[in-house]
Amino acid sequence: MADIIIKNAYILTMDPDAGDIENGVVVIENSTIKEIGTSTECSADKIIDAKGSVLMPGLVNTHCHAGMTIFRGYADDMQLQDWLENHIWPAEAKLTDEDIYAGTRLACLEMIRSGTIAFADMYIHENRVAQAVDEAGIRAALSYGMIDFGDKEKADKELEVGTAFVKEFNGKGDGRITTMYGPHAPNTCSRDFLIRVKEQAVKDNVKLHIHVLETEAELNYMKENFGMCSIHFLKGIDFWGTDVLAAHCVWLSDGDIKILAEYGVNISHNPISNMKLASGICPVSKLIDAGANVCLGTDGCASNNNLDMFEEMRTAALLQKVSTMDPTVLPARKVLEMATINGAKALGINSGMLKEGYNADMIIVDMNRAHLTPVYDVASHLVYAASGKDVSATIVNGKVLMEDGKVLSMDEQEVIDIAVKSSKDLISKINN
């Protein structure tokens, strides 16, 4: 007896060997996909009829600061340095464990509602992030964000906290939670600290998550202080590898692109955040042409305002087309790969495709909507016409977290009410 059978779906497998399946069936058993095809002899405790809908792999958000939902709309329309140094960092200093827990629960709720099944997080009070993820039922690759600013004592403390978190939470939540090391950026972490963090990550056999060349200011700082950009600087300390997830990567030369591709670095493209902060445009099409693994992320809600990965897909595609003046660049299927297969690869999870033996991490998108009618090309609709609001069901690790638009793994109103209270309390502390 299987756990769940989903029938009558248009299945977007994202499996290059299988292609799409019209009027298909997926059988879920013990948190994995047992069968996929046009029919099954299996029976199950639960049957979901997905007629008129698309069944597809859940989306993977590869760069997020989940607790920052608490800052949604707090300090908009500012220069990045002003935004960070004069608003976000001082506000973050007032955050408590409970604020981060409330903000992360809100983020998990938003992601479940909009079809994200896994995310990579880098933030503070990360133990409460892990708690929220565990309770929500979603997947996450979590890292404590570390900054030392060249202070040896601070570096020692940051690495101690980061290492303790990695060891305590890796594999928690029935394996849904993995941990990473999160050195913030080459311009906020010293050379010696970055070397130590890389060595520790290799020793603990976990990945690294870092911001790289998000701004021209970072590029100029690195050149002025080290005589080279961040890409070459990190290459010089043997930091790069397939175990690295590099967020943003906006200010890249052709030589930088070659290095990232050569070392198999995973690049998280965050188009909306980069546009909102006027950071620039990541050369995604060049990176893909060079063979790099490029995936998608939303960044935090303070610099994006929502966690809708459908919106991120659409924006990524349109931004590359207009920036290259080539409408054929980054077609819909390629963007879907970035949000599913490539993201899963970056986080090292057996998801991103609907295939026998893979994790049962999938979403159902209701196509019976005015803005999704008529349907000529499913992939095109998902990227250019759909939104997170069209997701009717979210399944992670074989568990139904949302069905028929109702979230089952969380009390939605309670999550919202607590987040509102937390935000009001935080603003009161900031203003005092």
**Residues annotated in the binding site for substrate, as ranges?**
92, 184, 214, 299
- Closest by Cα among 305, 307, 275 to 75: 305
End-to-end CA distance of the chain: 60
- 10 Å CB burial of residue 356 (0-12, 13-18, 19+) is middle
- Closest by Cα among 162, 169, 166 to 189: 162
Whether 327 and 150 have beta carbons less than 8 Å apart is answered as: no
Binding residues for Zn(2+): 63, 65, 211, 299
Strands (E), 126-176: 139-146
As beta bridge partners, residue 119 has 61, 140
CB atoms within 10 A of CB 361: 31
Whether 373 and 379 have beta carbons less than 8 Å apart is answered as: no
Binding residues: 63, 65, 92, 184, 211, 214, 299
* DSSP secondary structure of 101-127: HHHHHHHHHHHHHTTEEEEEEEESSHH
Q: 381-408 burial by CB neighbour count: b if 16+ within 10 A, else e?
A: bbbebbbbebbbbbbbbbbbbbeeeebe
Whether 409 and 393 have beta carbons less than 8 Å apart is answered as: no
Question: Residue 169, Cα to own-chain centre: how many angstroms?
Answer: 19
Q: Alpha-carbon distance 294 to 287, whole Å? A: 7
DSSP code, position 397: T
Residue written as tokens 């046009």? 38
